[in-house]
Structure 1
Amino acid sequence: MPSSIPQDIWIHYEGEKYKTNDFIFHFQQNKNEHIQAIIEFIENWNSNSDYIIQKTSGSTGKPKKIKIQKNQIKASALATLKTLNIEKGDHALLSINPVFIGGKMMIARAILGGLDLHIAPIIANPIKYFKTETAIDFFSFVPYQMEKIIDESPEKINFLEQSKVIILGGAPVSEVLAQKIKSHFNQTKVYSTYGMTETVSHVALKLINSKKKEYFNALSGVSFSVDKRNCLSINAPKISGQTSLITNDVVELISSTQFNWLGRYDFVINSGGIKIHPEIIEKEISTLFAEFNIKNRFFVFGLPHEKFGESLNLMLEGEGDIKKIKELLKLNLKAFYVPKKIFLNQQFIETENGKINRVKTIESI
């Protein structure tokens, strides 16, 4: 059955506002791929089909196309709106790629929640040139965009602070970015999200700009458990379409609705019997690099080692003084956290939605 679109939905674009059908009519010949993706999603949503086809991001495996039922999208959108107290008539900004599930869900939330949807340029700093006389209640960015806004457009922070909430998804929030958020945002709540394409975007939120230790908290109607590997199992059948969705994310389970994310099981490095989560070390290295003004992108990874089984290594993008960096890490990290080797790679290989493809980047050298 087609999914109805409330008559009071307005789409704001380039200084004008349109009812949904008028927007499609005006821009159906527009060659902007993001505008076409918005139109395609709205038309699919309003069609007789019970599902959409969505490609996964490919950040932890080969991208694949999956069917997502419209009732899953509805359940996810309504859970987010309820959890974040976003109400009919509020204004939301679409500033992430609508080709991927995160962007599609902002459109779905507007449709199902009766929100005004504003479309910003889908670029690294989406609000640099974005203008509106209306306060935006609900923002969604990828962490890289948030960092760009804080670094390049500090004058826009007050505009963001007028909102109810900002969510960050698509990639983990680094410790450096978290500190910047805590320093600049006092009014609006800024959340890191946890989820994947298979869970129709996020199923848990973690408050970043808090004065106390925070964990990921389940959306309304979602609960968690762990398997024997301590990997997260998600119980959200209305959203995921499965009774239990087992992930490869290693967590510390706090309760059935709370967890602390540690890293990917498939990235764990077993060096001499010590299990090392790259993501934990990367947080420490990120803080060090920020302190010493080292701006290279990086990640740590394991390689086979005759004596220890696996060794810990560091991959840097671009140019760098390997000797100086290794000395810095030796002085500031625990001995078994110091990379055995540092590799330079001129340019990391990325997935379609801009995440670092670790496997292919490692293979490239």
Structure 2
Amino acid sequence: MTDAYPGNAYPGDPYGDAAIDRESDGSFDANARIVDPAAVEGDEGRVEAALRPRRLEDFPGQPRVREQLALVLEAARRRGAPPDHILLSGPPGLGKTTLAMITAAELEAPIRVTSGPAIQHAGDLASILSSLTEGEVLFLDEIHRMSRAAEEMLYLAMEDFRVDIVVGKGPGATAIPLELPPFTVVGATTRAGLLPAPLRDRFGFTGHLDFYDTGDLEAIIRRSATLLEIEADDHGVHEIARRSRGTPRIANRLLRRVRDWAQVHGSHVVDLAAAEAALALFDVDASGLDRLDRGVLEALCRRFAGGPVGLSTLAVAVGEEPDTVETVAEPYLVREGYMIRTPRGRVATTRTWEHLGLEPPAGTGEAPGGPMAPTLPLDDPS
């Protein structure tokens, strides 16, 4: 039998989405589900059981975070005590959930998994904390979305390993202290800036995950192809990795879609021709931009003449929520130089106009005299 770690709450988990039996408080025990990969039928089951790395040495990319986390965990093992609380931040799909599962596996400790949106009342968090065992890992995904009352309870639990249960209401209310065994909180967030400072300061180690380079993504795709028994050549793997936006979740999803295209069209090999045809079918262009990315850039250029334009207005123009545009599309577009975030709003760069095959109007974007043009202070004698 082999432990199979459940996937997180996001669709298109890079290492597979698992069926989850949730508790009444919205959490679930990640060790409660045991799967025999040989007994699972279909590629989707094998994705769930096999694609998620189990050990830190098998985790691809993020060398700095991996090295730092390995030191924290090894020191804790030698002391025979739970490690400091761990905060993992970064864009979606980079492996925060996987690192949380690996943390528990390296410590040989059970793990309880829940999420910030599932904890809307202090009582929800109290019920989870009171059921923890010594040395257990509590993984809080999207920790920045916890309610304020639950956050304040978590402060005390993380620092002093106790919670105060309030019984009754009004003048007759009584606070009953409940001692907790030592445990480790692993928090994951895509919006580290939204975490209150008192909560952020209680994490002994903070790791920020950045986008992967093409070489690391190629290694991930090759490993996934081997586990899924997919035949893939170097050219096909490179093409998928190049268009994966630096994200393992997207890389594995595109691999499976190219696999589907190759099987349907009879080649059964993930090569360059299959990758190009399949990615064109699924609206992933040669630069790795998908429908949402191109929608943002086209709205920015065609409707707002390159900007500047506010986030909310831009989101309305593409029919998405502002949070979706800000957390899903913007990080990659800014990193790759397609967009600039300014105090006045979002601005298209020269690369955006070139990518869309459009001619930038005079006085906009990065053109001379545009919003990004340098200016001198009024009191500068020159």
Give me the TM-score of the superposition, normalised by structure 1: 0.34
Name which one, 1 or 2, has greater alpha-carbon Rg.
2
Which has the bigger relative contact order, CA under 8 A and spacing at least 6? 2
Greater fraction of residues in strand: 1
Give me the TM-score of the superposition, normalised by structure 2: 0.33
Greater fraction of residues in helix: 2
